[in-house]
């Protein structure tokens, strides 16, 4: 009986430690307030995600290995606090994916985001040199059609490049991670 209790106690301790690690020390431990007073230029969607943008990145699977590489060609246009960002992704296997975001930026820095592969509405906030956006992303039917809880963090680098880190979870378990850069496309 004592052995069962010790196993239960050990398992409970591991669950609590795992929760604390994820909540306070991991990717999900970040909050917008952590960056509210960070050094550097504040992130303004209307300025930093505006015009032609090139995006380059990788997607990691659940084992931490790269499963896909991509290049994105974006065009973002704003009319006051309402914006549309059209994205064209080309993956290493030759597949092309199109997405259009409809963005609304509140005067308080809060963001509302809609896209055809987003279930409901994405919600976010600008804070210092960062943007956090949370939404439910629906995979294409060819990839199972699963709905994943997604958190995007975008960090503004001093040269204007945006570093994007996103995690995708199903039932709280990380199934993929994306790391990408976004920068203004040079005039041709």
Query: pLDDT truncated to tens, each residue of the chain (188 aa)?
Result: 677 766 676 766 677 666 666 566 677 777 888 888 888 899 999 999 999 999 999 999 999 999 999 999 999 999 999 999 999 999 999 999 999 999 999 999 999 999 999 999 999 999 999 999 999 999 988 888 899 999 999 999 999 999 999 999 999 899 999 999 999 987 65
Instruction: Give the C-alpha separation, 136 to 155, whole Å.
Output: 21
- Are 46 and 26 contained in the same domain? no
- Are 69 and 159 contained in the same domain? yes
In this prediction, residue 30 carries a pLDDT of 79
- Are 96 and 51 contained in the same domain? yes
- Are 120 and 159 contained in the same domain? yes
Question: Containing domain of residue 14, as a range?
Answer: 1-30
In this prediction, residue 47 carries a pLDDT of 94
Which CATH number do you get for residue 104? 2.40.128.20
- Are 94 and 150 contained in the same domain? yes
In this prediction, residue 120 carries a pLDDT of 96
- Are 41 and 128 contained in the same domain? yes
Q: How many domains does the chain have?
A: 2
- Are 25 and 38 contained in the same domain? no
Secondary structure of the chain in the HEC alphabet? CHHHHHHHHHHHHHHHHHHHHHHHHCHHHCCHHHHCCCCCCCCCHHHHCCEEEEEEEEEECCCCCEEEEEEEEEEEEEECCEEEEEEEEEECCCCEEEEEEEEEECCCCEEEEECCCEEEEEEEEEECCEEEEEEEEECCHHHCCCEEEEEEEEEECCCCCEEEEEEEEECCEEEEEEEEEEEECCCC
State pTM to two decimals: 0.84
């Amino acid at each position: 009986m004592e052995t069962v209790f010790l196993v239960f106690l050990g398992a409970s301790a591991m669950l609590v430690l795992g929760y604390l690690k994820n909540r306070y020390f991991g990717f999900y431990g970040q909050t917008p307030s952590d960056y509210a007073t960070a050094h550097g230029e504040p992130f303004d969607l209307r300025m930093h995600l505006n015009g032609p943008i090139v995006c380059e990145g990788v997607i990691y699977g659940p084992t931490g290995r790269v499963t896909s590489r991509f290049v994105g060609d974006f065009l973002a246009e704003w009319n006051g606090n309402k914006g549309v960002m059209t994205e064209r992704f080309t993956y290493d296997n030759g597949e092309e994916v199109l997405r259009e975001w409809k963005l609304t930026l509140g005067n308080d820095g809060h963001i509302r985001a809609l896209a055809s592969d987003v279930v409901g509405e994405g919600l976010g906030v600008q804070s210092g040199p960062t943007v956090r956006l949370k939404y439910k992303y629906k995979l294409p039917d060819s990839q199972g059609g699963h709905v994943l809880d997604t958190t995007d963090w975008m960090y503004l680098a001093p040269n204007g490049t945006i570093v994007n880190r996103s995690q995708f979870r199903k039932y709280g378990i990380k199934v993929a991670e994306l790391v990408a850069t976004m920068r203004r496309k040079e005039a041709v």
